[in-house]
């Protein structure tokens, strides 16, 4: 069986101080249906090297939380920022690149990859929170397809890192999907696990085959 390492978001208890590693059920269910064993990586683990010694086919950087603006020289103050998660996912990306492991970034993971490669994020994007919109892409199976949208941070076309190429974009020039120039890293702004779309599965399969 193929294996995925998947990161988790940080959540906090409502009535007392307690940070928690968490993941929505949909992530595990979605990737298990694609035939993967999902191994969750805690943000506060001291044994990341152990996880990386496993026979891994894909690393998924999941959604949730904001990327720290300090990582891309932005002075804005954002809530829902956790240094441990940023640090862990940076380490995972570095190891993936070194060991030629494919990486899929979803929503926040999509943002973090762009920042990792010295791209910039924009804040307070309008018309993208809980609003479905259509993609523009030179990939026929993506073009004009409707996707969900849950983000208030975004990558504008001119803020995409140079090592990444656009795969899909929205009508208002917000990047919706990108691929690294070596074809090993795919980022998507929307959440495939929250919708049952054939084009999502095809995109991921094409990515894993190196055919995007």
pLDDT of residue 77: 73
Task: Return the axis-axis angle of helices 83-99 and 108-116, rounded to nearest 10°.
Answer: 70
Residue 6 lies in domain: 2-208
Domain count, the chain: 1
Domain CATH for 64:
3.40.50.880
pLDDT of residue 206: 96
- Mapped onto helix, strand or coil, the DSSP state of residue 93 is helix
Helical residues (DSSP H) of the chain, grouped into ranges? 25-33, 48-52, 83-99, 108-116, 198-208
pLDDT of residue 40: 98
Please list the pLDDT of the chain residue by residue as tens digits (212 residues).
899 999 999 999 888 889 999 999 999 999 999 999 999 999 999 999 999 999 999 999 999 999 999 999 777 778 899 999 999 999 999 999 999 999 999 999 999 999 999 999 998 787 777 888 899 999 999 999 999 998 878 999 999 999 999 999 999 889 999 999 999 999 999 999 999 899 999 999 999 999 99
Query: What's the predicted TM-score (pTM) here?
Result: 0.96
> CB atoms < 10 A from the CB of 206, how many?
16
> CB atoms < 10 A from the CB of 123, how many?
12
The CA dihedral of 173, 177, 179, 184, to the nearest 10 degrees, is: 160
């Amino acid at each position: 069986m193929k294996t995925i390492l998947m990161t988790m978001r940080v959540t906090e208890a409502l009535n007392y101080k307690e940070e928690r590693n968490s993941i929505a059920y949909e992530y595990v269910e979605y990737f298990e249906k694609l035939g993967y064993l999902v191994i969750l990586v805690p943000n506060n683990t001291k044994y990341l090297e152990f996880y990386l010694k496993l026979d891994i086919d894909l690393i998924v950087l999941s959604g949730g939380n904001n990327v720290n603006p300090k990582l891309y020289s932005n002075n804005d103050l954002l809530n829902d920022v956790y240094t441990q998660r940023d640090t862990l996912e940076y380490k995972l990306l570095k190891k993936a690149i070194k060991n030629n492991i494919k990486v899929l970034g979803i929503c926040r993971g999509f943002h973090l990859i762009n920042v990792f490669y010295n791209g910039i994020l924009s804040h307070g994007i309008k018309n993208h929170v809980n609003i479905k919109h259509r993609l523009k892409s030179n990939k026929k199976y993506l073009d004009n397809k409707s996707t969900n949208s849950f983000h208030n941070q975004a990558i504008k076309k001119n803020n995409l890192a140079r090592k990444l190429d656009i795969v899909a974009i929205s009508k208002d020039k917000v990047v919706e999907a990108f691929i690294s120039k070596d074809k090993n890293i795919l980022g998507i702004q929307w959440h495939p696990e929250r919708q049952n779309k054939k084009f999502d599965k095809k995109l991921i399969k094409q990515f894993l085959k190196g055919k995007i």
